C-alpha cells in the first residue's frame, strides 16, 4: 500500500455501511480524471453498497441517490488541490467548485449542496490529486496506487460493518 491515504481518509472509508451512496465522477478519456469510474468499476463487483459510476454527468443521478435515503454520501473525483500526484484528501466544502476537474454540466458545488439538502445526509467530497489530465486512457501509477488503496480500505471496512 502507498502512503496516499491520511488517517482521516482511512477512518472515513472504514465507516462505510450498506446505507452509503458512493458517487464516482470522472472522464476515462482524460487520464487521471478516470479515477472515479475506476473506483466504481472495482467496487461494484465486491459490495452491495450503492455505487454510481456518474461519469461526467453526476447531476443525472441525484434522484436515484435521494430515493436510496443514504446515511452518508461520498463523492470521489480527481481534484487539483496542489498536492502530489495520487494524494487523497477530503476537500473542504468551500473549495469543491475550484477543486473539481471533470467536465460537469452543473458545478460540483451545486451537486454537493443539492445532495446535502435532499438527502439530509453528510456529503463528503474526496479528491484525488491527478498527475495528468491529457487526452488518453489509463491512470498514472500514482493515482492507480491511491485508488487501489481506497478500494482496499472500503472493502476491509465494509466487511466488518
Local confidence pLDDT in tens for the 161 residues of the chain:
556 788 999 889 888 888 999 999 999 999 999 999 999 999 976 667 899 999 999 999 999 999 999 999 999 999 988 999 999 999 877 776 444 455 556 778 888 889 999 999 999 999 999 999 999 999 999 999 999 999 998 887 765 44
Q: Quick one: DSSP state of residue 44?
A: H
Does 38 fall in a domain? yes
Q: Based on the structure, what is the number of domains in the chain?
A: 1
Does 1 fall in a domain? no
pLDDT at 46: 64
**Structural domain of 117:** 7-159
Does 2 fall in a domain? no
Largest CA distance in the chain: 39
* Cα–Cα separations (whole angstroms), residue 133 to 35, 61, 100, 111: 11, 24, 12, 22
Does 150 fall in a domain? yes
Does 130 fall in a domain? yes
Does 122 fall in a domain? yes
By C-alpha distance, which of 29, 51, 21, 57 is closest to 39? 51
Does 144 fall in a domain? yes
For position 89, which CATH number holds?
Answer: 3.40.50.1450
Does 57 fall in a domain? yes
Amino acid at each position: 500500500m502507498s502512503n496516499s491515504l491520511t488517517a482521516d481518509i482511512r477512518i472515513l472509508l472504514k465507516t462505510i455501511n450498506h446505507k452509503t451512496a458512493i458517487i464516482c465522477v470522472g472522464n476515462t478519456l482524460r487520464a487521471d480524471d478516470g479515477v472515479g469510474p475506476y473506483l466504481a468499476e472495482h467496487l461494484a463487483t465486491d459490495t452491495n453498497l450503492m455505487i454510481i459510476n456518474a461519469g461526467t454527468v453526476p447531476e443525472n443521478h441525484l434522484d436515484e441517490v435521494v430515493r436510496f435515503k443514504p446515511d452518508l454520501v461520498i463523492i470521489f473525483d480527481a481534484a487539483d488541490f496542489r498536492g502530489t500526484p495520487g494524494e487523497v484528501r477530503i476537500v473542504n466544502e468551500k473549495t469543491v467548485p475550484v477543486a473539481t476537474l471533470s467536465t460537469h454540466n452543473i458545478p460540483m458545488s451545486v451537486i454537493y449542496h443539492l445532495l446535502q439538502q435532499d438527502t439530509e445526509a453528510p456529503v463528503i467530497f474526496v479528491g484525488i490529486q491527478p498527475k495528468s489530465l491529457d487526452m488518453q486512457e489509463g491512470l498514472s501509477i500514482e493515482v492507480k496506487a491511491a485508488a487501489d488503496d481506497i478500494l482496499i480500505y472500503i472493502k476491509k471496512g465494509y466487511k466488518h460493518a
